[in-house]
């Protein structure tokens, strides 16, 4: 398989993230790379995104990768989440702070974060 993608920086990001995942998965138990990566995704914390060290790959990409690997209770700090939390606290917040407050509220309320994330997206993106 070949990606026909003419964007050098994104290709470098992809290579960097792939190298990171190959390295990190070796620290987990499992019979395959994918099972070890799923274990990693479940165990990882948002602050672990600092350890990736790949230019162009921040917390949003990190959290989205965890979501793609089927980790439970993971939220990506997109414009909707950040905006929702910023409005709730009355001032702009960073991606990390938005995640921290969103996760804390979800746990306090006993709500599944993915369902809460969808509800926020649905209301803000579609106005429902």
Q: Is residue 78 within 8 Å of residue 60, measured between CB atoms?
A: yes
Answer yes or no: pTM beyond 0.75. Answer: yes
Query: For residue 16, is it within any domain?
Result: yes
Query: Which one-letter DSSP state was computed for residue 85?
Result: H
Instruction: Outline where 6-94 has alpha helix (H).
Output: 8-25, 33-43, 59-68, 79-89
Q: Is residue 77 within 8 Å of residue 63, measured between CB atoms?
A: yes
How much of the chain, in percent, has pLDDT values that exceed 70?
94
Query: For residue 71, is it within any domain?
Result: no
Q: Is residue 97 within 8 Å of residue 110, measured between CB atoms?
A: no
Q: Which long-range contacts (CB under 8 A, 24 or more apart) does 85-92 make?
A: none
Query: For residue 92, is it within any domain?
Result: yes
Query: For residue 2, is it within any domain?
Result: no
Q: Is residue 92 within 8 Å of residue 101, measured between CB atoms?
A: no
- Domain extent for 101: 79-126
Query: For residue 73, is it within any domain?
Result: no
- Tens-digit pLDDT profile for residues 11-69: 889 999 999 999 999 999 999 999 999 999 999 999 999 999 998 899 999 999 999 99
Q: Is residue 33 within 8 Å of residue 40, measured between CB atoms?
A: no
In this prediction, residue 104 carries a pLDDT of 92
Query: For residue 97, is it within any domain?
Result: yes
Measured between alpha carbons, how far is residue 45 from residues 3, 48, 62 in Å?
Answer: 30, 5, 10
Query: For residue 1, is it within any domain?
Result: no
Query: For residue 91, is it within any domain?
Result: yes
In this prediction, residue 32 carries a pLDDT of 95
Instruction: Mark whether 85 and 120 lie in a shared domain.
Output: yes
How many separate domains does the chain show? 2
Instruction: Mark whether 50 and 84 lie in a shared domain.
Output: no
């Amino acid at each position: 398989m070949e990606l026909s993608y003419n964007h050098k920086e994104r290709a470098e990001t992809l290579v960097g993230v792939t190298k990171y995942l190959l390295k990190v998965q070796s620290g987990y138990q499992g019979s395959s790379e994918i099972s070890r990566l799923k274990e990693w995704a479940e165990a990882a914390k948002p602050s672990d995104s600092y350890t990736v060290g790949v230019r162009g790959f921040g917390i949003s990409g990190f959290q989205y990768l965890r979501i793609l690997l089927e980790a439970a209770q993971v939220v990506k700090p997109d414009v909707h989440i950040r905006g929702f939390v910023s409005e709730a606290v009355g001032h702009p917040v960073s991606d990390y702070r938005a995640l921290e407050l969103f996760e804390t509220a979800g746990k306090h309320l006993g709500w599944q974060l993915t369902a809460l994330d969808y509800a926020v997206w649905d209301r803000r993106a579609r106005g429902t």
